Chains A and B, each alone.
Chain A
Amino acid sequence: MIQINELSFGYHKHTPILENICFDIEKHQCIAVLGNNGAGKSTLLKCINGIMRPQQGTVLVQGKDVLSMHRKEMAKNLAYVAQKNEATKMTVFDTVLLGRKPYIKWEAAKEDYELVEKMIDQMGLNELKLCYIDEISGGELQKVMITRALVQQPKLLLLDEPTSNLDPKNQYEVMAMVQRIAKEQQIAVVVVIHDLNLALRYCDRFLLLKDQKIYAYGGHEIMQEDTISEIYRIPVKVEQYLGVRVVIPIPEGEQVCFV
């Protein structure tokens, strides 16, 4: 289990970005972090994995505080995929191999290569293995980066808007993949996401951020019309359609006719 306790962050004392964030995650759960722009979603992810140093708080993974660990140890517990990934002239295989960086001393071991091989195969990236990552598509790059994060063998995987630059097909593929990873490999996943419908479909729990604080945290039951409207400051309808719950935003002054 992963516990985030009393996490607070701010650039200046009087303007906090995050205030007293506390929540628990079970190891196979996929948590969606939702909230408006500037609610502190990305900052929360960066604080959890120590890219930004929170003023106070702990992140306990199996009872140990990762924030007080050495970077290398931390990278064995937490993996992070940034919102924008830089593509450079490196092959997919070598990029994924970098996920073993926290374990490599002087040279990558045979086991490292085998794990990379296995993961690339599982993620269906075999065809691309020797392609340079600046030559593949955005969706493929996102999958490569998630694969790299998995090769770190983390307990907690943090994804910052993994679907924001992808077309619908890739959005669904990537999120389905994330859900599958959480279940199969027993990894807790925290994903910052803007698409409510993707979140409703693929995530188990929802962390709603508003005004630097947790507004609500819970399962599907908290995702009601009034809560979502409050968070996003826009009226919404939640409907059941073809067995799937969908959120339909209704900007004020617009008429929407439900048939």
Chain B
Amino acid sequence: MQSERESYQQFIRKKIVLLFVLFVLVLILIMVSLAMGTTKLSIREVLLTLIGKGTKRGQTIVYDIRFPRVLAGVLVGGILAVAGAVMQSIMRNPLASASTLGVSQGASFGATIGIIVFGAGVQNSASAAQAVTINSPYIVTICAFIGGGISAIVILLLSRIKQAGPQVLILGGVALSSLFSGGTTLVQYFAEDVQVAAVVFWTFGDLGRTSKRELLLLFIVFLIAFAFFLYHRWDYNALNSGHQGAKSLGVNVEALILSSMVIATLASAMAVAFVGIISFVGLVAPHCMRHFVGNDYRFLIPASAFSGAILLLLADLFARLVVSPVILPIGAITSFLGAPMFLYLIFKGGLRHDTNQ
């Protein structure tokens, strides 16, 4: 019996090693991201700068320009991925994520309203590049959050009151997405050119627009969401056997779904509000990780956070380097690279409808 116990421990140890490898990958990618760009630095220079022994030039590049961007990538990737993983659990639907349930589109609609109706994005400089800065990010963020929240509430009502199955929820998400996309277009139609430009610019998604204060806020949101989700990891595992199964294991299913959905939506709407629409991370990251650690949320939550960060850092590197010095919109890159990757996984048969009802 002792040897069998060890084999389970070995099995667990493998998963811990995987988490460690992912963590190291995140660190490596952070270093590479800090080093790469229009002005190339060596890893040695980056390291020296980080411990405070770098040149003035290095400090400006690393701390003022690249570090906020890289940190935003890590945090937003992490948030979207863990929120996706948790949504997939509580909705009991492998397709659930901020972008498939209409949360991103709702947030985008909210941001549009914020920029155009409340005038949060105004031309404040003559130069083209700065013409469309968002000068009141908090209004945009709050509006985006409300928009995303509306989608989430509709989806929650569908699943609770109508007892809708997984397919119906995704259909609901499709309907909401098209409703909000249509709404966004209509609002844009009546807006001024500059405002439309601000909206389009916002929708592109950009990791570089976050200020240090916003980063702190994102960091806090990430910590709260991550801690909350990790605390409930056993509950999500219990939910794997259905709502009734979870109830009989002592889980307060209704409260769990409501609180998790509120936090997942709040966190993703916040992330989307700061950096713009970034889809597919919430879908691809947890599914890739399920392939390795199974549907075990003890490992799936941290693994998703790391892989979400990795995906976004890679996408950002790609966006910055492929036609440097032009920075491509990150939202487009994640979709453009994420979708083929997802299709590849489906073709390979690595994905199954594990969380199907």
Query: Taking beta carbons and an 8 Å cutoff, which residues of A are in contact with B?
Result: 46, 49-51, 71-76, 78-80, 82, 85-86, 88-91, 93-95, 98-99, 101-102, 104, 106, 113, 117, 121, 126, 129-130, 132, 134, 145, 152
Q: Which of A46, A73, A78, A86 has the most CB of B within 10 A?
A: A86
- Give Cα distance in the complex from A51 to B252, angstroms: 10
Q: Which of A79, A80, A88 has the most CB of B within 10 A?
A: A88
B248 touches A86 (CB 8 A): no
Q: Choose one: B244, B294, B295, B355; the contact of A51 (CB below 8 Å).
A: B244
Residue of B nearest to A118 (CB): B1
Please tell me if B4 contacts chain A, counting CB pairs below 8 Å.
yes
Q: Which residues of A contact B249 (CB under 8 A)?
A: 75, 98-99, 101-102, 152
Q: Which of B252, B294, B355 has the most CB of A within 10 A?
A: B294
A88 touches B8 (CB 8 A): no
A102 touches B241 (CB 8 A): no
Residue of B nearest to A145 (CB): B241
Q: Which residues of A contact B252 (CB under 8 A)?
A: 71
A134 touches B354 (CB 8 A): yes
Residue of B nearest to A83 (CB): B244
Contact with A along B134-162 (1 / 0, CB 8 A): 00000000000000000000000000000
Q: How many residues of B contact A (CB 8 A)?
A: 31
Q: Which residues of B contact A102 (CB under 8 A)?
A: 249-250
Q: Choose one: B1, B237, B355; the contact of A98 (CB below 8 Å).
A: B237
Q: Choose one: B11, B231, B242; the contact of A86 (CB below 8 Å).
A: B242
Q: Which residues of A contact B357 (CB under 8 A)?
A: 86
Residue of B nearest to A114 (CB): B5
Please tell me if B64 contacts chain A, counting CB pairs below 8 Å.
no
Q: Which residues of A contact B250 (CB under 8 A)?
A: 71-76, 101-102
Q: Which residues of B contact A94 (CB under 8 A)?
A: 237, 294, 296
Contact with A along B219-243 (1 / 0, CB 8 A): 0000000000001001101101110
- 6 A-B pairs whose Cβ atoms sit less than 8 Å apart in the complex: A75-B249, A80-B245, A80-B248, A82-B241, A93-B8, A129-B4
Residue of A nearest to B237 (CB): A98
Residue of A nearest to B241 (CB): A86
- Give Cα distance in the complex from A245 to B290, angstroms: 50
Residue of A nearest to B294 (CB): A89
Q: Which residues of B contact A85 (CB under 8 A)?
A: 241-242, 245
- Give Cα distance in the complex from A46 to B249, angstroms: 13
Q: Choose one: B7, B8, B251, B354; the contact of A101 (CB below 8 Å).
A: B251
A88 touches B234 (CB 8 A): no
Interface positions, chain B 296-324, Cβ under 8 Å from A, are 296
Q: Which of B234, B235, B237, B248 has the most CB of A within 10 A?
A: B248
Q: Which residues of A contact B209 (CB under 8 A)?
A: none
Q: Choose one: B1, B5, B8, B237; the contact of A90 (CB below 8 Å).
A: B237
For the A-B complex with A82-B248, A91-B294 known, give 12 more contacts whose Cβ atoms are closer than 8 Å. A75-B250, A76-B250, A79-B248, A86-B240, A86-B242, A88-B354, A89-B295, A89-B352, A94-B296, A101-B234, A101-B238, A129-B4
Q: Given A99-B249, A101-B249, are A130 and B11 neighbors across the interface (CB < 8 Å)?
A: yes
- Give Cα distance in the complex from A88 to B242, angstroms: 10
Distance from B180 Cβ to chain A, minimum over Cβ atoms (Å)? 32
Residue of B nearest to A117 (CB): B5
A78 touches B248 (CB 8 A): yes
Q: Which of A78, A104, A130 has the most CB of B within 10 A?
A: A130
B7 touches A113 (CB 8 A): no
Q: Given A49-B248, A85-B245, are A129 and B8 neighbors across the interface (CB < 8 Å)?
A: yes
Q: Which residues of B contact A145 (CB under 8 A)?
A: 241
A98 touches B234 (CB 8 A): yes
Q: Which residues of A contact B8 (CB under 8 A)?
A: 93, 129-130
Q: Which residues of B contact A90 (CB under 8 A)?
A: 237, 240, 294-296
- Give Cα distance in the complex from A134 to B355, angstroms: 11
Residue of A nearest to B245 (CB): A82
Residue of B nearest to A72 (CB): B250
Distance from B302 Cβ to chain A, minimum over Cβ atoms (Å)? 14
Distance from A144 Cβ to chain B, minimum over Cβ atoms (Å)? 10
- Give Cα distance in the complex from A257 to B311, angstroms: 73
Residue of B nearest to A116 (CB): B8
Distance from B34 Cβ to chain A, minimum over Cβ atoms (Å)? 35
Distance from A82 Cβ to chain B, minimum over Cβ atoms (Å)? 5
B296 touches A130 (CB 8 A): no
Q: Which residues of B contact A132 (CB under 8 A)?
A: 294
8 tightest A-B CB contacts, nearest first: A75-B250, A80-B248, A102-B250, A72-B250, A89-B294, A88-B240, A101-B249, A89-B295
Distance from B139 Cβ to chain A, minimum over Cβ atoms (Å)? 39
- Give Cα distance in the complex from A165 to B15, angstroms: 34
- Give Cα distance in the complex from A130 to B113, angstroms: 52
A113 touches B5 (CB 8 A): yes
Q: Given A94-B296, A126-B4, are A88 and B355 neighbors across the interface (CB < 8 Å)?
A: yes
Q: Choose one: B244, B251, B290; the contact of A71 (CB below 8 Å).
A: B251
